[in-house]
Amino acid sequence: MADRLSALDLSFLYLEEPTTPMHVGGLVVLAPPKTGFDYDKLVSLIEGRIALVPRYRQKIKNVPAHLANPVWVDDRDFDVTYHVRRSALPKPGSDAQLRDLVARLMSRRLDRHRPLWEIYLVEGLARGRIALITKTHHAMVDGRSAVDLGQVLLDVTPVPRQTGEDLWMPAPEPGRVDLVAGAIGDYVRRPTAVVDTVRSSVADVRATTSRIAGAVVGLTSAARLATRPAPTSPLNAKIGEQRRFGVARTSLADYKRVRKAHGGTVNDVVLATVSLALRNWLLSRGEPVTPKTTVRAMVPVSVRADSEKGALGNRVSSYLVDLPVGEANPKVVLSQVSYSMKAHKESGQSVGADALIALSGFAPPTLHSMGARVASGFSRRLFNVVVTNVPGPQFPLYAGGAKLLEMFPVVPLAKGQAVSIGLTSYNGGVFYGLNADRDAMGDVDVLGALLEESLTVLLETV
């Protein structure tokens, strides 16, 4: 029986608009091995690993008369070379040119008639480097597994691990009769789910998503915070179809030094860094900043116990934190952020992933996806910006023998959200990816530089 999209996965298809493409992405910069790394090698690598992620060879098929949610079916015409693409910068390609390319690619929606993913090999970078840019639709990130294509491509040694022979043959695509029969069968098993689906139009899906959002807020003490609208901020603006992409590069050791000196957690230091950077960004724009000025951030955090590390699943909560951007003293900023985060953890003031799961089968495999998914439903009334922080491995990784140097997340924008901030730690570094609206955030590179400067300011207090 074909897998059926969940209610929330379906909503991401219906809610997608030219100004809000619903895909998550990433930029990975690599140093190729002495033997080289080209397009054919990337295609071969993906062909050898794609069996580990079956969804990447499936597309979406609608049910006649919308009797039930669409289903995933094997793509009989699957062609890996359609999804694996090649681009080149004029040598020697600069980092700025690479960021511009990321912005252009992330502005384009994925083809609904194909499996919903793309990966680009970028050649021509300065210093002999190469890059991979990935795009995966939210509907692909269904929470049943924490494994995606990017993960299965990576190895812990320069020598790629061997995989078994791929004997994939596409399953027959269900016809109209099969799809209707499946819908009726689902109705017998889960009548309320199908009733909701039959009602669904674009407007109905928007209303359903809003009801889910309201229900989740109502299930937690975060509702009290949610009753107060997020502060007015240039971080919230009407957005268009085009994007800008900025980055910041920092050292994990620096965050740990600040944490050791002042207490709290590494994530507290990250949020203090973001708060100081946003303060100076607002000042650089001539925006009014008073001692009471705040920016409300939605911060997905792991609530997994140590014994659960490495387990798949959904032990994630999202805290709503008012960042004290009106405060200039870095030590006071860190103290206030640490106090707020500790209060959230002790009082349960969070938008809980478990509550979302109970309502809609929502179980994201990564914090970045969690942040983007919740942002799409909550952005306008709950917060100004999403900040996702995903800890990564602290040892080198390789793709086809190419050493991974840097990895930058690309968290999509919700409607009315001018910028999203994602960061990933890897092999001693902490890498920020700033996905921004092209018109509203012409100074996204300024924000990237201010993030680096703000961490330096915090270090000076040690």
Q: Assess if residue 152 is contained within a domain.
A: no
In this prediction, residue 151 carries a pLDDT of 74
Name the active-site residue from 23, 137, 138, 262: 138
Residue 236: the pLDDT is 93
Choose among 377, 376, 384, 20: nearest CA to 212.
377
CB burial string 77-96: b at 16+ within 10 A, e below? ebebeebbeebebeeebeee
Q: What is the pLDDT of residue 161?
A: 87
Evaluated on CA atoms 280, 285, 288, 292, the torsion sign reads negative
Report if residue 244 sits inside a domain. Answer: yes
pLDDT computed for residue 202 by the predictor: 45
Round to whole Å and give the CA distance between 272 and 258: 11
Beta-carbon count within 10 A of 113 CB: 10
138 tagged catalytic = yes
pLDDT for 224 equals: 56
User: Hey, is 121 helix, strand or coil?
Assistant: strand
Domain count, the chain: 1
Q: Using CB atoms within 10 A of its CB, is residue 286 exposed (0-12), middle (13-18) or buried (19+)?
A: exposed
**By three-state DSSP, how is residue 299 classified?**
strand
CA atoms 286, 287, 288, 291: torsion sign: negative
Q: Is residue 416 part of a domain?
A: yes
pLDDT of residue 184: 74
Q: Per the structure block, which two tokens stand in for 91?
A: 């040598």
Indicate whether 342 belongs to any domain: yes
In a domain, 337, yes or no: yes
Quote the pLDDT of residue 347: 62
Question: Is residue 41 one of the residues assigned to a domain?
Answer: no
Tokens at residue 336, please? 């206030």
Q: Domain containing 333 — which CATH number?
A: 3.30.559.30
- Residues spanned by the domain of 265: 218-394+408-459
For residue 156, tell me if it sits in a domain: no
User: Beta 243-251 vs 71-74: how paired, if at all?
Assistant: unpaired
Task: With respect to residue 228, please indicate whether it lies within any of the assigned structural domains.
Answer: yes
pLDDT (tens, 9 = 90+) of the chain, 462 residues, equals 678 887 777 877 887 899 999 898 999 999 999 999 999 999 999 999 999 889 999 999 998 887 888 999 999 999 999 999 999 999 999 999 999 999 999 999 999 999 999 999 999 999 999 999 999 998 887 544 445 677 788 999 999 888 878 889 999 888 877 777 777 777 666 655 544 544 444 444 454 445 444 444 433 444 455 557 889 999 999 999 999 999 999 999 999 999 999 999 999 999 999 999 999 999 999 999 999 999 999 887 655 444 444 333 334 567 889 999 999 999 999 999 999 988 877 665 544 433 333 333 323 334 455 555 555 555 457 889 999 888 888 999 999 999 999 999 999 898 899 999 999 999 999 999 999 999 999 999 999 999 999 999 999 999
